[in-house]
Each structure stands twice: as structure tokens, then as C-alpha cells.
Structure 1
Amino acid sequence: MADQTLAKEVNERQILRFLRLFGSASRADIARHLKVTPASVTRLVNGLTMRGLVREVQPGAKRGRTARDAGRPGVALALNPNAVFFLGVEIGIGILRYALIDLTANSVATSDVHVSRTITPEEVVDAIAAHIAMLEHDVRYAGRVHSVGVTVPGVVNLEGFVINLPILGWKGVDLLTPLQAAVDRPCFVENDAGAAAFGSVYTMPELQTGCSVFLVMGRGCGGAAVMNGRLLRGASGATGELGHMRIARDGAVCSCGHRGCFESRVGLDALARSYWGTDDLAEAQFEVLSTEVAERFSSGDPAAIASVADLTDWLKLGVVSLANIFNPSTIFLGGALGPVLSLIIEDIRQDVARGIVPGLPAPEIRLFSLEPYECAIGVAAIAHQRCFDSSGYGPYAPGQSLRRRWL
């Protein structure tokens, strides 16, 4: 009996994932994908339909139609978008960004609120609890917000401890326990760059297998590796601190307190030191720095050309190392450094292809841009993945307890 129950849950997870990736499918499509009998698919789909997770739709527009049947197609099945929602929250500097996604992993609502630049963990918990309470008073979402993911621009472990968040002065903070108590549903805490990376991959079927590496460069330098559709976490959950690869023995002191970190050579602070001779700039100056240097580079300014060349050399060194370590199919480069990156991307592609271990295929190197709610949507997508694949949940009646379900 236990084996039968497990097999049923695994097959339900496969159906939900298949419909998420391909939009809709007939029962025959699903049976072929799962390699089970049509009768088994009917029983599984009936259970999912009763829980409100799957619905029948008109056959036709499907992202990945695989039907081989001749004649009139059967009724198509699709996820019910409004069955369950997932909330993502980004803790930024002076701002909290919220994003709500539905069961199909599409964003349905975003908002933000300005907060103190020295906000405390307790104030963050209170703000998120108030936002959840607001959603519970909205008839569209009441009883259907399943779980909450939160991102911070710092180092986080699997237990939800913020190990180090220097820009807010947090160190060794247990954010998960009080948050989960305050909102009464599953919660978790992630690094912001990792969440943004995962969100970028999660809705792209072509990136669900293999390995993609993301490098996000701004005041700091964060990153993540997504392997076979899952975020690589490491032993304690703090993997992805790609900006703290040691690529030199000296240099400016990094935000982590060490010297020679990748971040201290390729971030906006490094660009400011190279171009202006100091990183003691106002926030508004950092916001326009990359665009300003890129424009002056294009106009032939020798100082800008030298600064970009220096950054390019260090960036090549780091990207080659990442390619050799992860053997990715794709490396994504983005963040506030974008205007400068767009000038040097071809140079980086060529040098990485020449610099990796001979015989390894060169990764595709792409630029990507972070939208304002990218981190919040990404961490909501992680919440979606963590609970979505479990399939043992459905819409909740108001006041009903929400139980944590993990993969």
C-alpha cells in the first residue's frame, strides 16, 4: 500500500510539472509522457481535478503539443491558475518588494513599500505579516496563499539564518523562525541572486536540464548555479557566493573583510576606484556609473577605456574559472554593470572559449537584465517548486491550518 501511495504521488507530481512546462495536454499526451495506461491517467487526473489543481480546457493552443493521434483531439487538461498562490518578498535597501505568482508560476500581483534603510529583522517580519493579512482580506487570494519565500542580499544557510548581511548590519540572524510563526504557513529564506537566477530558469523548458550559471554584478557580485532545474545549494545552503572567489592575493578590502575577491575586481565599487580613483560615491552616482563609463568608453575617453579593459581582464579570469568548475551550458551575466557588459560581451565569449579546459565545449554566454521584481518573483518560484511538486495540497478554507510539504 505504501508503495502504491508513493507511486501515485510521484505520478501526480509528474503530471503537474508536465502541465506547468507545456501549458496543456490531452490525457493521451500525459499517458505517453508518464508511460502509464490511459486508465491510470484518468484516475490521477480525477484526483487532481477534485482538489482544484487541474481543469479541462478547450484543446488547441499548447506550448509543447506532442499528440500523435489522428482525428479529433481529446479534451485538454491544464493547471488551474487560481488554485494556489505563492508570495515572494525581496528585502532591499530601503525597500520591500512583493510578488505573488499563481499555480502556473505566472506573476499576478507586485507591489513595493519604502522602509528604513536600517530596518530590523523584527520590522521585516511585521511588514510581511501585515502584507499576508492584507492578502487574506482579498477574496481572490484568501486561504490560497500557500507559502512565503524571502530574499536577502547576503549569505543565508538552509535553516533560514542570515549568516552575514553587512549592508543592513545583520549577522547570525534567525529570520525564518519568527517569520513562520507570524504568518502561519511554510516560509524560507534565500540569497537574492540565487532566487533571481532560479526564477529565470524555472519557466524556461529549454533550461530545465543541464547547468546554467548566473553572475549578477552591482555594488556586490552574487551568483548561482542551477542544475537540472534545481538551485545548487551546497552543504549548508550558502553556495553561490561566486563574488568571493579568491582571484588575487591583494587589492581592496572586500565586503566580506578579505582581499583578492572576485567581487572587489568586477563590481561597481571596483569600477569607481578604477575610473574615479575612489569608491566613496553617493548612491545616485553608483546608479549611473556603468552607463556613464560606457558612454565615455564609446566616445574614446582614455580613462574609461583603461577602466573597462581592467574590469574585462578580471571578469574573463573569473568566468573562465566558473566555466571550468561547473561545466555549464550557459553563463548569464547581468546586473547594474549591464551597460559596460554589453560593450565587452564578445571579447569575453572569445577569451572564455580559448581559456577553458581543452576539449570541453564552450558555454554560451548571454547577457540578462534584472527587472525590478526579479528577486521577489524568483523566490516565489522557489516556493512554487518546493510545494508544487508535492501535489498534496489544494485550495484552503479560510482559517484552515497550512501544513508544510517538502520535496
Structure 2
Amino acid sequence: MNGTEDKLLAKKQTGDLAFIKKMNTSIVLDAVIKHAPLSRAQISERTGLNKATVSSLVQDLLDGDLITETGPGESSGGRKPVMLAFNATAGYAVGIDLGVNYIRGVLADLDGSAVAEQELELKRHEPEYALSELISCIERLIAAAPASRYGVVGIGMGVPGIVNDSGDILFAPNMEWRSVELRRMLEERFSIPVTIDNEANAGAQGEQKYGAGRGIAHQIYVSVGIGIGTGIILNKELYKGASGFSGELGHLSIEYDGKPCRCGNRGCWELYASENALLTRASELGLGEYRSLSKLIQAADAGDERVRQLFRSIGVYLGTGIANIINVFNPDVVIIGNRMSRAKAWLEEAVRDEVSRRTLPYHRERVRLTFAELQDRSAVRGAAHYAISRFFARIKSM
């Protein structure tokens, strides 16, 4: 070999070693996150890495404040091992659920546990007004973050519309938004990474990571708020379709020549089974004194049979759409989330009856229908998870 070839070979070998070290560091960190408390010897056993390699990588992670020593463990005959745990307070993430009529925010540690929360009513939809309210909410959450090695590592957000890979909201029909460059604006304002996805996708991720969807391979999350969206998880992976826009099943037509929708279609499912449909129908029935979902739930709880019947009628439509989802996707579970999950007591029976009546027997045999374990906080927790996952991806590539 000549000198140039020697240098190229040395460079390749150095690069290969650096890549292997990154991979092994990721393996060790994942083992601690998933199975702590663990000793160095236990990490070696779980990962198949030799003890010297584990010891070196653990020291790097200790130096980086990503893991911590928690004290002695049980002895198996010799010296007590030092146990290791993930340091969830090494940094924090902001999660935002931007709804049609609300903004919900959470500050979470790196385990996804909530440290601080914010919720406010969104009274108008103009992008300038909504962005101002959104920035104020994020500022309050960032200010609530305790001191930490990595600070606030990112912002994750779920929004009620179609989002592209650049974090632009292409179309949010219930907010009348088109082509809003939300990620660019927020990254310029806060100088930290921002991840934006459809709210139903964020909700699906929240339930898969922290709620009713844990460990389930095939699940559909149905977000029922002012509109309806769905997050589709197949083989434990979020399905986003060829262009990244899957899950808009709220715009599945359930009435051939039904009501006109803001999306341009007619007879969309969300026109008959959403929170907006509930409030519209309440007004048509002369129940104008109940002008919010909360007041309608209170009336149902108090025994108002007119309101209970209204919820049942909405539940029938909700069950109709869910039956279509089950017949198409054959999932293990369908999870109903977002604000209408608060009305579980008055929706559930009608939803189950309609699903049972309309689904194919082989599809119905194994499917489980449930309401979100995180109730209306699935999307905000999933949004925080987006920011945390992106942080880990950066750490593992360093």
C-alpha cells in the first residue's frame, strides 16, 4: 500500500470503531432505561457486550449525566454490585396539544412523567392570535423547568390537521388554516428542536407509550374532539401512508349525500360523532342552556334523560365509524380518546352495541374496544414523547 491508501484505511477503521461505539452506547443506555436498576454485570449479561466494554460505556454515560449510580444491590456471593438507573431529570421536554378550542401543554422529564402542566381556552383561530397564545404557553412551561444538564431538549406538538415533513400545517379545516409554517416559526422563536405531527398520531403514540396501548401490536386510536382523527399503529409502528397523511378517517363518508364538511366532502363521520356534532345537535334539540361538553356531561350525570339520549345518538354514529375501522384494519384494540372520552359513561353502551351490530364476526372475535387510559391527555403526552425520542436520537448519534 502507498501512504494515501494507508491513510484511507486508517480513517475507515477509525470511523468503523466510532460507529460501533455509538451502537454499543445506545444498546447500554436502552438496557438501563428499560430494565433498571441494573449492575454493570447484569448489563453485560443482557446485551452480550463484554464487561470491559460495558464498564467504559457506563462511565461515558455517567459523565454525561444520562445514568446515575443508585447504591449497592444484592450480592450473589462477593462484593455488592453498584446499581445503575436512568437519570430522567437530565433534561426536560415540552409537549403541546393544539386543539381547535384549547391549548394543552406539559413539561415532562425524560421518562415522560409530567412535571408541570398548562391548559387554556383558545377563543379565536386566526394564526397570529393562536401563535401568540401558543408561545406564551410554551414560555411558561420552559420557565417551570428545573435546572438540568441538558435543559429543555425539545418541543413536540400535535395539531388538528395535515402536517408535512417540514412541520408545516398544510390544512386544518376546523381551524380554517392553510400552509402555516409552524415548526419554522417556533424554532426561530425558541432555538430548540420542534417536532410537529397530527394530533391523533400524537395521541396514538401517547397511549402506546404510556397508556392503554402498551405492548399491543395493532391498535387504532380514535381522537374525538371538535373533529375526529385517527392514529394507526400496525406492528407497533405508526402507519403514516405514502405521503405521511394517513389517519384522516374523520372524513370518511358515512352519509352519501350528507351534511357539507369544511374539508370539501359531504357526510363526513366527524359531522355526526364529534364534540362539535354533539353541541350542534344539543342546540337543535333546544338544549341551549348546556353550551359545552362539560355542562352536557354534568346534565347527564344529574339524570337529564334528554341529554343522555343525545349522548346515545352520538354514540351510535361513533360506533358506526369504529365498526368500519375494525372491518378494514382488524386491530387488536380500538382506543377512544380526546375530550369526548370524558363522556365514557354515556357513550360506551351505544358505541359497543353499534360495533357489535356492524362488524364482521371474525373481526369482532378478538378486538377490544376501550377508552384512553390517559383520557384527554394522550396527545400532549405523545407530543412530549416525540421531543424526547428526537433528543435520544441525537444523543445516540454523537
TM bucket by the smaller chain?
Answer: 0.7 to 0.9
Give unpaired runs (5+ residues) of structure 1: 61-66, 394-404
User: What is the DSSP-based 3-state SS (H/G/I as helix, E as strand, rest coil) of the residue aligned with 1:197?
Assistant: helix
Residue 251 (structure 1) aligns with: 258
For 1:33, give the aligned amino acid.
R
Match of 2:395 in 1: 391
* 1:133 to 1:117, Cα distance in 2 relative to 1, 3 A: closer
- Shift in Å, 1:76: 1.9
The corresponding residue for 1:326 is: 329
Whether contact under 8 Å (2:106, 2:118) holds in the other structure is yes
2:367 equivalent in structure 1: 363
Asked if 2 retains the 8 angstrom alpha-carbon contact of 1:199 and 1:382, the reply is no
Query: Quick check: 1:376 aligned with 2:380?
Result: yes
Q: Does 1:11 align with 2:14?
A: no
Deviation, structure 1 residue 79: 1.0
The CA distance in 1 between the partners of 2:362 and 2:53, in whole Å, is 49
Which residue in the other structure is 2:338 paired with?
335
C-alpha separation between the residues in 2 aligned to 1:10 and 1:87?
A: 27
Higher relative contact order (CA 8 A, sep 6+): 1
Please report how far the alpha carbon of residue 234 of structure 1 lies from its aligned counterpart in structure 2 after TM superposition.
Answer: 2.5
**For residues 10 and 203 of structure 1, do their structure 2 counterparts lie closer, same or farther at Cα, with a shift above 3 Å needed?**
farther
Following superposition of structure 1 onto structure 2, how do residues 4-403 of structure 1 map, counting pairs within 5 Å? 4-58=17-71, 74-93=81-100, 95-112=102-119, 117-121=124-128, 124=131, 128=135, 131-132=138-139, 135=142, 140-141=147-148, 144-203=151-210, 207-227=214-234, 229-272=236-279, 274=281, 276-277=283-284, 284-292=291-299, 301=305, 307-308=310-311, 310-338=313-341, 340-343=343-346, 345=348, 348-349=351-352, 352=355, 355-356=359-360, 358=362, 361-368=365-372, 374-392=378-396
Distance in structure 2 (CA, Å) of the matches to 1:231 and 1:283: 37
Deviations 1:64-122 (A, max 9, x none): xxx99688763221111221221122334565433211122212222346666245248
Bigger shift: residues 27-36 or 246-255 = 27-36
Which letter maps to 1:345? E
The TM-score, its normalising length taken from structure 2, stands at 0.79
Greater alpha carbon shift after TM alignment, 180-189 vs 371-380 = 371-380
The alpha-carbon distance between structure 1 residues 244 and 148, as it changes in their structure 2 partners (threshold 3 A), is: same
1:100–1:377 Cα contact (<8 Å) kept:
no
After the TM superposition, which of the residue ranges 76-85 and 135-144 deviates more from structure 2? 135-144
Number of residue pairs aligned between Structure 1 and Structure 2 = 384
Question: Which residue pairs with 1:63 in the alignment?
Answer: none
Amino acid aligned to 1:158: D
1:337 alignment partner, SS class: helix
Distance 2:162 2:287 in 1: 24
CA distance in 2, matches of 1:126, 1:33: 47
Indicate the structure with greater helix content: 2
Partners of 1:193 and 1:207 in 2: CA distance? 16
RMSD of aligned residue pairs (Cα, Å): 3.8
Give the direction of change, closer, same or farther, for the CA distance of 1:330–1:39 in structure 2 (3 Å limit). farther
* 8 A Cα contact 1:87 1:100, kept in partner: yes
Aligned partners of 2:274, 2:190: CA distance in 1, in Å? 36
Q: Which amino acid aligns with 2:392?
A: F
> In 1, distance between residues paired with 2:77 and 2:242?
51
Partner of 1:399: none
Contact 1:202–1:229 (Cα < 8 Å) also in 2: no
How much has 1:186 moved relative to structure 2? 1.3
Residue deviations 1:132-155, cap 9 Å, x none? 598479761585111111232222
Cα distance change of structure 1 residues 227 and 208 upon mapping to structure 2, 3 Å threshold: farther
| Aligned-partner residue type, residue 331 of structure 1 | V
The CA distance in 1 between the partners of 2:311 and 2:377, in whole Å, is 29
Alpha-carbon distance in 2 for matches of 1:196, 1:275? 27
> Residue 276 of structure 1: CA displacement?
4.9
Q: Show CA shifts across 1:231-265 (max 9, x none).
A: 33233332222211222312222342321222122
